[in-house]
Structure 1
Amino acid sequence: MEIIADVLVIFFISVGVILSVVAALGLVRFPDVYTRTHAASKSSTLGVLCILFGTFLHFLLIENHFNTELIIAIAFLFITSPVAGHLIGRASYVSGIKLADVTVRDDLKGVIGPKVNKKK
C-alpha cells in the first residue's frame, strides 16, 4: 500500500513541476501580456494544484494525517488565480496595451477599451 501511495505522490508532484516549468517557459516565450497572463494563470495554477494535491496525499496516505490547510489552500488557489489572471488581462486591454502582431482576432474590439464610443 505504501508503494502505491509513493507512486501517486511522485506522479502528482512531478506533473505539477512539469506544468510549472511550462508556465515559466510561456512567460518567457509568449509575445504579449495577454498570452503571458494565460500561461501564468492556467498552467501555473494547475501545476501548483497538483503539487499541493501530491503533498496532501503524502500526509493522508503515508503520514496518516488529514491536513485541512492544504484543502483550504487548494480551494482558494483554484478560485482566485484564474479570476486574477482574467482581471489582469481585462485591465490591460482597457488601459490600451496593444495585442501582439501575430494576433488573428480581437473579440473585444469596439466592445470595451479606451477608444470605445460611449453613448449618452
Structure 2
Amino acid sequence: MSLFLSIAASVLILLGALLSLVGALGVWRLPDAYARMHSASKAGALGAILVLLGVLCATSGMAWLESLLAICVLLITAPLAAHAIARAGHMADIRPQTGLLGDALEEDRQRRGTQER
C-alpha cells in the first residue's frame, strides 16, 4: 500500500470517528426524540460511511465490494428507518418541540380529520 493511501485511510477513519462522536453528542444534548433521532441517523450513517471508505482505501482484493455494498445499505436504510420511527412516534402522540415553522404532520392529520367528518 502506498503512503498516500495509508494517509487517506487514516484521515477517513478519523473523520468518520469524529462524525460519529458528534452524532453521539447530539443524541445526548438535543431536546426531543426527533432531533436526537436525526442526529443519530445522519451523523451515525455518514460516520460509518467514512470509516468504510477508509477501510476501502486501506485494503486490497475483494474487500472493496463488501465495503461498497455496506455503504449502499447504509445510504438506503438509515433515512428510511429514521423516517419510519419518526412517523410511528408521531402517530403514538409523541410530539416534537415546534419552532416557528410548526408541526406540518399534525396540520396534515387535522386537515384529513376534518375532511373525513
Measured at CA, do residues 36 and 49 of structure 1 come closer, stay the same or move farther in structure 2, by a change above 3 Å? same
**Which residue of the other structure, out of 52, 65, 75, is the alignment partner of 2:61?**
65
| Residue type of the alignment partner of 1:51 | V
Q: Equivalent residue of 1:111, what SS? A: helix
Per-residue CA deviation, residues 89-108 of structure 1 (Å, 9 max, x unaligned), is 111111110222x6332122
Whether the 8 Å CA contact 1:32–1:99 is kept in 2: the answer is yes
The question of 1:91 aligning with 2:88 is answered: yes
The question of 1:78 aligning with 2:82 is answered: no
Q: Distance in 2 between matches of 1:88 and 1:21?
A: 22
| Residue type of the alignment partner of 2:53 | F
Measured at CA, do residues 45 and 8 of structure 1 come closer, stay the same or move farther in structure 2, by a change above 3 Å? same
TM-score using structure 2 length: 0.87
Counting matched residue pairs gives: 114
Q: Distance in 1 between matches of 2:45 and 2:115?
A: 36
The question of 1:9 aligning with 2:9 is answered: yes
Same amino acid, percent of matched pairs: 32
- Tell me which residue corresponds to 2:21: 21
TM-score using structure 1 length: 0.85
- Tell me which residue corresponds to 2:116: 119
Per-residue CA deviation, residues 39-75 of structure 1 (Å, 9 max, x unaligned), is 011111000000011101111xxxx313122221111
- Tell me which residue corresponds to 1:108: 105
Q: Equivalent residue of 1:96, what SS? A: coil
